[in-house]
Amino acid sequence: MNAECVVWTTASALFAVGAGFIVLRRQLVAMIIGVELMVNAANILIVFTAARRGDPAGLAVALLTLAAAAAEVVVGLSLIMSMRRGEDEVPETQTLRGMAG
């Protein structure tokens, strides 16, 4: 089994687990974890392809993707904390409450 097969298998497994979290779980935190797993699977493939081609731009793209994913988690968790506290400062919380179950 070569390195390319291992990387593709690992990334596919991570992506499948992340998609499973999104589809099967109703908790918002679990959904955010699923999205993060899917983003990390894509980053694994971006870094592998960039290293294989010797292109440093791919590594920069992966770093920017990680920064965007971190910002997404911060916004998502702050919305969840706001909902749990009972503060309805954000108008979309009613819609999110319906999704949370």
Q: What would the pLDDT profile of 18-40 be if each residue is shown by its tens digit?
A: 999 999 988 888 888 899 999 99
Give yes or no for a contact between 21 and 48, defined as CB atoms under 8 angstroms apart. no
Range list of β-strands (E), the chain: none
Token pair of 64 as six digits = 């920017």
Euclidean distance between CA atoms 8 and 1, whole angstroms: 11
Which CATH number fits the domain 3-100, given the four candidates 1.20.1250.20, 3.40.640.10, 1.10.287.3510, 3.40.50.1000? 1.10.287.3510
Could you tell me the residue ranges of all domains in the chain? Answer: 3-100
The model carries a pTM of 0.75
The model's pLDDT over 40-98, given as tens digits with 9 standing for 90+, comes to 999 999 999 998 998 888 889 989 998 998 898 888 888 888 777 765 555 555 565 56
